[in-house]
A and B are shown apart, each in its own frame.
Chain A
Amino acid sequence: MSRSEPPTTRGFLVGLVIGTTMIAFGIGGLVSTTSTASAFDVGTWVVGADLAHDLVLAPIAVICSILITRLVPRPWRTPIRSALIASAVFTIIAYPALRGFGRATAPGNPSVQPLDYPTALATAIGAAWAIAAVWLAAIAVRTRRSRPRVRMANADTARPEVEGEDPT
């Protein structure tokens, strides 16, 4: 990461004044419209949301990222990584429906979470992997096509210079 200068610009001060005013308004509103105990609960959940990300979600993502780097050959990485991220995101979004939490809140209301969510989620994840498979196939085709040119010359200079940014 590059080293960035300490942000004591005018923009920082303007943002600081407006932003802290909004934060104070939010905290004031929370405390004045709910009980102190309730405001404390909300605060606990906000801090808990931060910790849940930093201590659970992010480490899992880092471990998955390392595994992908170790196990998947470089040209395939992006499609496979993308499909894995999509699978995780879809699962997070479908999680309350998968567990039937809404149906439990609203018994006798079949219009809440009406689908067979394991099948629905599998279909959505399947679509993401189908896109990844097409992507992988395209990479394979491109690699095969470019191979003869690579053999003719040095592998680096044979790459198509689409943007003409090569400093040499």
Chain B
Amino acid sequence: MSTIRLPEATSPLRSERVAAVLGIALGLTFTTCFMTGLLSHQIQDPPSWFSWPTRPAGLYRVTQGVHVATGLASIPLLLAKLWSVFPKLFVWPPFRGWANGVERIMLLPLVGGAVFMLFTGLANINLWYPWPFNFRRAHYWVAWITIGALVVHIGAKWATTRAALRRPPAPADAAQRADRQDRRQFLAATFGISALVTLFTVGQTVRPLSRLALLAPRRPDVGPQGFPVNRTASAARVVDAAQSDDYRLVVDGNVQQQLSLSLADLEAMPQHEATLPIACVEGWSTSQRWGGVRVRDLLTMAGAPHGSEATVRSLQARRSYRTSELNSSQAADRDTLLALRVNGEPLHLDHGFPLRLIGPNRPGVMQTKWVERLEVR
């Protein structure tokens, strides 16, 4: 085996051990991102066997906060790892036997997939879409491809990694000792930079650190009424419909009595308050005190059967996320509200005036704004 003699191929910073330590770290962070990502995907499109609970109310905020924070923290780890193995790209001959050939071919979906996942994730939290495909589908399916390639890679590198992590031979001389110290400091610096990335971004969901969120695309306390907005009323083209005097909330479907309620009717109903987070899939979150009407009160008033489910519809025309689903436990939860107010004020138009859904343990995209209809099943 020979390598093209890149000037850096013999850098003392590169070693099997450095590659192994960074590989293990990335294995953990990518697995964390994959699991939390799968979970978020199931919550948004639940298969029949999957039922997401309403408690703890802030669970999704944690799992999705971890998803985005871990992805961001992986950026320096991935770059350091790729740097540590870069000369191996030029190994000659390219394949030694079929197994080595398979292992090396799998580096394309592994490296391409890993860079793709981190780049598309970073762009998405910034609402930047420089590609011609649907972000969510691409990010989801390429995750399977990337993690599949990672599983192949782990199988292929298991023995190498274990060998590399065994206690290394003592340095023979001062030069080797200095090289080892350089490698340790390189690893320490990589993890340190990863920690700094977290420190400078995680404040978009961890409120006490919000002032340190220098590199995050959101601040949890910036926006109308003191918290962020994803889609504005004008972007959703509901400005007129939401402020119309003809606004009614319709409750229909599998009910004994169809309801059509004006804003005054809704305000005359028993009002309830709940402090619940908006937890965006893009990794920011903010907890607010919401006030309004319980969904379960509306279902009772309409004579819906016990255990009903409901589809919540927005005034928005077209666009994805104009509806969301409430399963039976979500519809029956005491804190699942159609909110009229936040922190005692009427909702800002961009936060869903006149009426928005807010429920415990739901992704932000499923906290439907400008609600006009509750379809009971």
Contact = CB atoms under 8 A, between A and B. Distances in A.
A18 B215 contact: no
Given A6-B100, A13-B155, A89-B75, A26 B148 contact: yes
B224 A20 contact: no
Q: Find the residue from A16, A65, A111, A115 having the highest chain B CB count within 10 A.
A: A111
A27 interface: yes
Contacts of B235: 106-109
A109 B101 CA distance: 50
A109 B223 CA distance: 8
A106 B224 CA distance: 15
Contacts of B123: 96, 101
A33 B90 CA distance: 37
A1 B111 contact: no
Nearest to B182: A78
Contact of B132 (A6, A41, A123, A165): A41
Interface in B75-107: 75-76, 79-80, 82-83, 86-89, 96-97, 99-100, 102-103, 106
B165 interface: no
B117 to A, nearest CB: 9
Chain B binding surface SS class: helix
B134 interface: yes
Interface in A89-147: 89-90, 92-94, 96-97, 101-102, 105-115, 120-121, 123-124, 127-128, 131
Contacts of A52: 115
Nearest to B200: A124
Contacts of A5: 159
A60 to B, nearest CB: 11
Interface residues of B, number: 104
Interface string A1-19: 1111111110111111011
B124 to A, nearest CB: 10
Interface stretch (B5-13, B46-54, B249-257, B290-298): B5-13
B154 A15 contact: yes
Contact of A9 (B76, B140, B159, B229): B159
> From DSSP, what is the main secondary structure of chain A's interface residues?
helix
A90 B229 contact: no
Given A19-B150, A53-B111, A101-B128, A7 B214 contact: no
Contacts of A29: 140-141, 144
B88 to A, nearest CB: 6
Given A33-B141, A82-B192, A90-B215, A23 B111 contact: no
A57 interface: yes
Nearest to B159: A9
A85 interface: yes
A7 B99 contact: yes
A89 B29 CA distance: 17
Contacts of A11: 155, 158-159
Interface of B: 1, 3, 6-8, 11, 14, 16, 72, 75-76, 79-80, 82-83, 86-89, 96-97, 99-100, 102-103, 106, 108-109, 111-113, 115-116, 119-120, 122-123, 126-134, 137-138, 140-160, 170-174, 177-178, 182, 185-186, 189-190, 192-193, 196-197, 200-201, 214-215, 217-219, 222-224, 227-232, 234-235, 350
25 contacts: A1-B88, A6-B96, A12-B99, A15-B153, A19-B155, A26-B146, A41-B133, A47-B108, A57-B82, A61-B79, A66-B7, A69-B11, A81-B189, A89-B197, A92-B75, A93-B201, A96-B128, A101-B126, A102-B217, A110-B223, A115-B219, A120-B215, A124-B196, A124-B200, A124-B214
Given A50-B112, A108-B235, A115-B214, 6 more contacts: A1-B88, A16-B155, A23-B148, A29-B140, A54-B89, A159-B177
Which 7 pairs between the two chains have the least Cβ-Cβ distance?
A15-B155, A22-B148, A26-B144, A50-B112, A111-B223, A19-B152, A19-B151
